């Protein structure tokens, strides 16, 4: 079996994957103190040009005397020599230590396409929303998996030590280094920390009016959020969310009604387009036919802001920055989108932002939020809630 392990440069390959797998250079007597035990290292060769860098290691894993059965061959590579140096043999496994350029990732991935066991990458996303990060966090192709680990998972550090470590990073890197959230810098739509908007779930008082915001999709998800409004404090709690792709209106409607049939639903302008569906029915009417309490008018402000995306974003941002918008901490799908919601060349990137859009619609129309009164049903006709 044949494997590659790679880093950005020859030196970083030596100091990271080689150290972790074989042991720390330059002491050859420490080879075998890494993940590969000493008695499993049959032989190794050194690379030319970089002190203490290994070129290859022969590892035994029990039985046999040839590469196919009882031995594996591990080669060390780097990104600095370019994609052409990555052309070559079929591999059983590949480890990228630190984020590779997309062309090298693609070339390396090609090496494992015929019978390969795995391709894995370990890195802190300091390069931001790169093509490689986008592929795994936004496109999410079948057969891939992302494991996020943050400093809170490093339980061998005390709480005080973790806080000191995070405080020692530049502010724009803290979420990337402490939580694995891509560095977005000035590209973030909501430049606020997760902690500042997160809260433990609470029991919502019955006198707080509620509203649902929904964003429609097919290939990209249909998404909905539920908001409760403490009008006395002008504070909004986002307490539930839903996101699903390639499902019928019947399925989505059932999910919405399951959170409370009486809750009014704010919807986007394109849902009232008579050509929104091939059968000629507006999406809004299809949901009305399923018993969803759609508002009579599309999501928009009462004033000159209309349904402006930027106005909605700035409105939400103001609530976040002043502590008046809180999100229940268990809503993983919502926070996933929040972390990746960003701009490119000043424009909001409309990928994996369905829950963010639904939040904007619900917040924009919170003046129509309603209290559940069984003895006083909402006024409702074929246009929706009026």
State phi, psi for 110 to the nearest 5 degrees.
-60, -35
Q: Is 98 a catalytic residue?
A: yes
- Judge whether 222 and 252 are in contact, CB under 8 Å: yes
- Judge whether 327 and 240 are in contact, CB under 8 Å: no
- Judge whether 59 and 71 are in contact, CB under 8 Å: yes
Point out the catalytic residue in the list 98, 336, 337, 353: 98
CB atoms under 10 Å from CB of 385, counted, come to: 19
Please enumerate in sequence order all residues whose Cβ is within 8 A of that of 132, keeping only pairs 6 or more positions apart, or say none.
99, 100, 101, 102, 105, 121
Instruction: Tokens for 115, please give them.
Output: 């019978």
Q: Which residues are catalytic?
A: 98
């Amino acid at each position: 079996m044949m494997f590659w392990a790679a880093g950005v440069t020859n030196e970083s390959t030596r100091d990271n994957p080689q150290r972790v797998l074989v042991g720390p250079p330059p002491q050859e007597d420490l080879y075998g103190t890494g993940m590969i035990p000493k008695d499993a290292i049959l032989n190794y060769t050194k690379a030319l040009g970089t002190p203490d860098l290994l070129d290859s290691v022969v590892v035994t894993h029990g039985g046999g005397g040839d590469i196919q059965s009882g031995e594996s061959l591990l080669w060390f590579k780097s990104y600095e020599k370019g994609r052409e140096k990555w052309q070559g043999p079929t591999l059983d496994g590949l480890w990228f230590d630190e984020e590779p350029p997309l062309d090298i990732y693609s070339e390396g991935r090609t090496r494992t396409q015929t019978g390969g066991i795995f391709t894995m990458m370990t890195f802190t996303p300091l390069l931001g929303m790169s093509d490689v990060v986008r592929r795994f966090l936004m496109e999410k192709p079948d057969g891939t998996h992302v494991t996020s680990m943050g400093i809170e998972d490093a339980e061998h550090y005390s709480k005080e030590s973790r806080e000191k470590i995070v405080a020692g990073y530049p502010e724009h890197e803290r979420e990337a280094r402490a939580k694995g959230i891509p560095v977005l810098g000035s590209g973030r739509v909501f430049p606020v920390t997760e902690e500042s908007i997160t809260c433990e779930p609470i029991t919502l008082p019955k006198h707080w009016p509620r509203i649902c915001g929904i964003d429609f999709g097919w290939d990209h998800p249909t998404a909905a959020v539920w908001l409760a409004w403490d009008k006395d404090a002008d504070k909004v709690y986002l307490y539930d969310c839903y996101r699903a792709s390639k499902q019928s209106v019947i399925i989505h409607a059932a999910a919405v009604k399951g959170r409370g049939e009486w809750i009014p639903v704010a919807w986007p302008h394109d849902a009232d387009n008579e050509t929104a569906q091939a059968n000629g029915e507006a999406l809004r009417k299809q949901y009305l036919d399923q018993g969803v309490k759609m508002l009579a008018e599309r999501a928009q402000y009462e004033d000159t802001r209309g349904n402006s995306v930027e106005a909605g974003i700035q409105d939400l941002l103001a609530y976040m920055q002043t502590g008046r918008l809180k999100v229940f901490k268990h809503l993983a799908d919502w926070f996933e989108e929040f972390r990746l919601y960003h701009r490119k060349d000043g424009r909001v990137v409309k990928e994996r932002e369905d829950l963010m859009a639904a939040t904007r619609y619900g917040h924009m129309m919170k003046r129509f939020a309603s209290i559940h009164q069984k003895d006083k049903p909402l006024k409702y006709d074929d246009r929706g809630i009026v």
